[in-house]
Chains A and B, each alone.
Chain A
Amino acid sequence: MVCLFQGLHNARRIGDLTLEEYNSMGFQADGLEIQSPLVRKANDGSICKWIVNVQDRLCTLKDACEKVPLSVGFNIELKFDDEIEVSEVDLKWVIGTVLKEVAMYGKGRKVFYSSFHPDAVDLLRKLQTEYPVLFLTDGGTHIYKDERRNSIESAVEVCLKCGLQGIVSEVRAILQNPGLVSKVKDAGLCLLTYGELNNFAEALQKQKETGVDGVIVDHVLEMVTAVRNATISDGTLTSSDDIRSRDISSIVKAAA
Chain B
Amino acid sequence: MALHSSILARSMNIDPAVMQQASTPANLNILYTGPRMAQFFRDHKIEDGQQSLTVLGHRGSGKNRVFSAGDTSNSRPSIMENTIKSLALAAQNGVDFVEFDVQVTKDGHAVIFHDDYIIIDDKGLHNARRIGQLGFSRLSFPPNRSNFRDGLSVSGITQCKAHWRPHS
Contacts and interface: CB of A to CB of B under 8 A. Distances in A.
Contacts of A44: 68, 137
Contact of B77 (A16, A22, A103, A248): A248
Interface stretch (A75-83, A150-158, A175-183): A75-83
B133 interface: no
Contacts of A11: 117-119, 141
A227 B52 contact: yes
A166 interface: yes
B12 to A, nearest CB: 5
A235 B51 CA distance: 10
Interface in B73-116: 73, 76-116
B33 A165 contact: yes
Chain A: interface residue count, which band?
35 or more
A11 B31 CA distance: 40
Contact of A103 (B22, B109, B126, B145): B22
B164 interface: no
Contacts of B107: 18-19
A5 to B, nearest CB: 6
Interface residues of B, number: 117
B12 A99 contact: no
A220 B93 contact: yes
Interface of A is mostly: mixed
Contact of B137 (A45, A62, A69, A132): A45
B40 A132 contact: yes
A99 to B, nearest CB: 4
Interface of B: 1, 4-5, 8-9, 11-12, 14, 18-19, 21-25, 28, 30-34, 37-38, 40-42, 45, 47, 50, 52-58, 61-64, 66-69, 71, 73, 76-122, 125-126, 128, 131, 136-148, 150, 152, 154-155, 157-158, 161
Interface of A: 4-19, 21-22, 25-27, 36-64, 67-69, 71-79, 81-83, 89, 92-94, 96-104, 110, 112, 114, 126-132, 142, 165-166, 188-190, 192, 194, 204, 207-208, 212-221, 223-224, 227-228, 230-232, 235, 247-248, 250-252, 254-255
